[in-house]
Amino acid sequence: MRCCDWLRCCGGGEPRPRTVWLGHPEKRDQRYPRNVINNQKYNFFTFLPGVLFNQFKYFFNLYFLLLACSQFVPEMRLGALYTYWVPLGFVLAVTIIREAVEEIRCYLRDKEVNSQVYSRLTARGTMKVKSSNIQVGDLIIVEKNQRVPADMIFLRTSEKNGSCFLRTDQLDGETDWKLRLPVACTQRLPTAADLLRIRSYVYAEEPDIDIHNFVGTFTREDSDPPVSESLSIENALWAGTVVASGTVVGVVLYTGRELRSVMNASSPRSKIGLFDLEVNCLTKILFGALVVVSLVMVALQHFAGRWYLQIIRFLLLFSNIIPISLRVNLDMGKIVYSWVIRRDSKIPGTVVRSSTIPEQLGRISYLLTDKTGTLTQNEMVFKRLHLGTVAYGLDSMDEVQSHIFSIYTQQSQDPPAQKGPTLTTKVRRTMSSRVHEAVKAIALCHNVTPVYESNGVTDQAEAEKQYEDSCRVYQASSPDEVALVQWTESVGLTLVGRDQSSMQLRTPGDQILNFTILQIFPFTYESKRMGIIVRDESTGEITFYMKGADVVMAGIVRYNDWLEEECGNMAREGLRVLVVAKKSLAEEQYQDFEARYVQAKLSVHDRSLKVATVIESLEMEMELLCLTGVEDQLQADVRPTLEILRNAGIKVTNRGEAHLELNAFRRKHDCALVISGDSLEVCLKYYEYEFMELACQCPAVVCCRCAPTQKAQIVRLLQERTGKLTCAVGDGGNDVSMIQESDCGVGVEGKI
């Protein structure tokens, strides 16, 4: 049997796409790794050899080992063996015990995760299973506030709205809840046990590092005709996330080292502090001095007799110049330093995971941190509504509220005797109509779901009946979305209900407007926009709403002469700008689009491209409604620091553009560098040295939307180019690679 075949049989080899039958792990087309989390540097057999190798690969320790070994030669012995071996043994014992304690702590943390118990659906009913025993194809039940044990496809939920929320702070560091949707076919089944009675399977792509995308299909064969549904990231439950609402049932797709979270992490390695390296270098210098002194002493004797043995004996006699106690003092000092950090009242809750490099914190030259979430309150506030001819700020929101009120409460209150409205009334109604369309679009185009809670416990059935404002909490995957919906509520149009297929808005006159959700196009980093198609139940009107960044929306909306200028003005004020547009659709036009869209979503190959092409057929000549501007609430002491980040940016797609942009940026002074992950990849591919030279000269560098591997690459390049110490700070699983690659890593517990 060839080596690659053996690896494949053991769950190794190249990752491949897979077909997973629901509830039948035995029907697998390949072997998969065990669902075991292992963050240890060593195992039982490699611990002692590994620790000793890491100790004696440096000259400082090797020097004392050679001294101790030399005492076994009678001609070189200067005293009792214990005078050399006892100090060396004590040093090694301290090191081995320290490493053992850290490995045991890591083992216990891994064991706690691997031993968590979950419920598994089987033909004999519900059975308890440890996380480490979960297999691909198992149907796993995950309760509220329970961690998802493996990468799964979302099949069913107990929530009445047919969806659930996930907390992904342990995966990507985001504090906002993510909305996930079950497979429609399995959600309609009467009970969860029916999942084992149907003949169905999931076809999934090969394991991938990208936590923001997924391509797959769900097929039910025993229905007539067979049912096929497309699967995307909205149907995926990644390991490490926590179910925030309801109880969910999922089928396991990936386990063990094929998990998204594991693939984003690099292998743990032993780190050595700069102080240890400096001591090691000084030891070499002192040893060179010993050799010189020994040669001088032998030369004074004219190299008589066995002079080479005399040189070694002089080296042993003068060996005290390099005290072995220095190593003991260093190790004890690091242990005390780690203990003091844990007990520091100014940084409560700090845990030192490694006691070998605590002194590194005082010698950091480059600090790399994940975004600015720790510098802000992560709470967005609506600041500006711009309609082209008029703009509304915080001090004029009452005017927007009056426009909305007039639309819904004064439409039929004109005096009967008045033959026609006055010019002032016409202007007033025209402006009210424009404001209303803009507010309505903002209130409908989002992924926000209102959740009703009573006394801290979700009570959807009772609270939602009355749409009680005091019980309502908005949940969304972005704080920007929540800020927009909260603003529409403040001006009179309130989102009071939402599920997979419908949405309800409440007007200032307490009238409930019902809308059917026909299609949703989620926001992606590639498209930089999101859209929704809804049908107004009262009029039957179908409307396509879209909002996104000005760089993409400028080519989608009808020509106008104010979009670019006003977007620039708002951006210079530090606002996050969104462009909102709409398009009315005829019934036939929508039906034609739906057929093409469903067909594109079922494609396994090039699905993203095909779906984007179909959606783009609608994204033409849309009516520009408004611009919105929201702002994150910065801590007062960091606002001046973040001002420099708005100065300049680099955006390139090829080698020629990279050359021009880097040369142009070189002529700027005291300017922060802002670059996206895609542009960064191009620059590092063709002009790695030039880019790193510019980056090191800037007061600050912001890399937007970087992949975990790119974060680790930046750390590695900084270390190689500058030789300086780096510190990486992160709050999610996608920061693990960066933290492990840096000289000193800091993990921040995310806000829940």
Say what the pLDDT of residue 698 is.
84
Say what the pLDDT of residue 4 is.
38
Say what the pLDDT of residue 637 is.
42
The C-alpha atoms of residue 734 and residue 173 are separated, in whole angstroms, by 8
To the question of whether residue 224 is assigned a binding role by annotation, the answer is no
To the question of whether residue 576 is assigned a binding role by annotation, the answer is yes
Burial (Cβ within 10 Å: 0-12, 13-18, ≥19) of residue 326 = middle
| Residues whose CB falls within 8 Å of the CB of residue 571, separated by 6 or more in sequence, listed in order | 577, 646
To the question of whether residue 601 is assigned a binding role by annotation, the answer is no
Say what the pLDDT of residue 141 is.
93
Q: CA dihedral defined by 584, 589, 594, 597, rounded to 10 degrees? A: -90
| Residues whose CB falls within 8 Å of the CB of residue 334, separated by 6 or more in sequence, listed in order | 273, 355, 356, 357, 358, 359
To the question of whether residue 372 is assigned a binding role by annotation, the answer is yes
Say how many C-beta atoms besides its own lie within 10 A of residue 510's C-beta.
Answer: 9
Residues 395, 397, 399, 401, CA torsion sign? negative
To the question of whether residue 234 is assigned a binding role by annotation, the answer is no
Say what the pLDDT of residue 151 is.
93
φ/ψ of residue 79, rounded to 5: -175, -165
Q: Which two tokens stand for residue 719?
A: 């270390």
Instruction: Give tens-digit pLDDT for 169-180.
Output: 777 666 667 888
The end-to-end CA distance of the chain, in Å, is 51
Q: Which two tokens stand for residue 411?
A: 């439409």
Say how many C-beta atoms besides its own lie within 10 A of residue 627's C-beta.
Answer: 26
To the question of whether residue 426 is assigned a binding role by annotation, the answer is no
- Peptide bond before 421: cis, by omega within 30 degrees of 0? no
Report the half-sphere exposure of 464 (CA within 13 A, side-chain side).
Answer: 19
Question: CA nearest 100: which of 42, 39, 36?
Answer: 42
The C-alpha atoms of residue 315 and residue 347 are separated, in whole angstroms, by 48
Q: Report the interhelical angle of 59-70 vs 47-56 (nearest 10°).
A: 100
What single letter denotes the amino acid at residue 392?
A: Y
CB 23 within 8 A of CB 139: yes
Instruction: Give tens-digit pLDDT for 522-557.
Output: 887 677 888 999 999 988 999 999 998 888 888 888
3-state secondary structure of 557: strand
Q: Which two tokens stand for residue 256?
A: 């063990």
Q: How far is CA 235 from the centre of its chain?
A: 17
To the question of whether residue 178 is assigned a binding role by annotation, the answer is no
To the question of whether residue 59 is assigned a binding role by annotation, the answer is no
Catalytic residue, from 151, 172, 176, 370: name it: 370
Q: Report the interhelical angle of 59-70 vs 82-114 (nearest 10°).
A: 130
Q: Mean pLDDT per segment of 10 residues, for the chain of length 752 residues?
A: 38 72 78 87 86 84 82 75 79 84 88 91 89 91 91 89 80 73 88 88 88 87 84 89 89 90 73 80 87 87 79 80 77 83 84 79 84 58 87 88 83 44 49 90 90 55 55 80 90 87 88 90 81 91 91 86 85 84 92 90 81 87 89 51 49 84 82 81 87 86 78 88 87 76 79 50
Given 3-state DSSP classes, what are the helix, strand and coil percentages for the chain, each rounded to the nearest 5? 45, 20, 35
To the question of whether residue 371 is assigned a binding role by annotation, the answer is yes
- Distances from the Cα of 307 to the Cα of 288, 299, 303, 435, angstroms: 18, 9, 5, 99
3-state secondary structure of 206: coil
Q: Is 370 a catalytic residue?
A: yes
Question: CA nearest 585: which of 531, 621, 541?
Answer: 541
Instruction: Give tens-digit pLDDT for 104-115.
Output: 988 998 899 899
Greatest distance between any 2 Cα atoms in the chain: 133
CB 627 within 8 A of CB 570: yes
Facing residues of 531 across strands?
521, 546
CB 592 within 8 A of CB 598: no
Q: CA dihedral defined by 282, 283, 289, 295, rounded to 10 degrees? A: -160
Say what the pLDDT of residue 547 is.
92
Say what the pLDDT of residue 420 is.
43
To the question of whether residue 383 is assigned a binding role by annotation, the answer is no
| Residues whose CB falls within 8 Å of the CB of residue 64, separated by 6 or more in sequence, listed in order | 84, 87, 88, 91, 324, 327
The C-alpha atoms of residue 109 and residue 104 are separated, in whole angstroms, by 9
Predicted TM-score of the model (pTM): 0.68
Facing residues of 119 across strands?
128, 141
